Amino acid sequence: MKLLGIGSRINHAEFGKGVVTNVTSKHYWVTFIENGLETIAIDSEFEVIEAAEDEVDSISFFEVEQSLKSILKKWSDVSEVITIADKWKGGKLIMEPGDTNLRGKELPIDTFFHKITMVRDRLRVMEQKINSSNLEEQEKIDLQQYITRSYGSLTSFNVLFKLKSQQFVGQKK
């Protein structure tokens, strides 16, 4: 099937006559005389009145951008910006030993949060490396289960995350 170029004229059973004004990998954007702008699937039924022979960019910039973000997220160790919940900003973590003769430790909670997110990022990188490795499938599954359990062990720290979508998720039953 040859893609129509921008400027092609068509006659659609439902929308009538129109002109293709944009083309994506899955849709034609058509401005119809009677019905205005509509998107129709590339494989829709319609009559071609006049096909334009222009070069067609069959993928939109948005689709390229989304694909690139997905690839970078999956294969690099560049992490997304993770923000701490507002109520913890500027706070501190205080650890007191059971023995009162020993000194406690104070740590800015932002520093602690940064360390927790770095552990998460490193687990994700390890997960990607396992998935792309030459290990046997069963070995990959076994290692994935350890990682999933590690995520589960870290769910106690989810209270620190501002966005629920960025929290740790363990094994779902």
Structure confidence by residue, pLDDT tens digits, 75-86: 665 556 788 889
Structure confidence by residue, pLDDT tens digits, 68-114: 777 776 666 555 678 888 999 999 999 999 999 999 999 999 999 98
Separation between Cα atoms, residue 120 and residue 147, nearest integer Å = 10
18-43 mean pLDDT? 88
Separation between Cα atoms, residue 47 and residue 33, nearest integer Å = 15
Residue 154 · residue 119 · CB < 8 Å: yes
**Helix, strand, coil percent values for the chain (each to nearest 5):** 40, 20, 40
Residue 50 · residue 8 · CB < 8 Å: yes
Residue 71 · residue 61 · CB < 8 Å: no
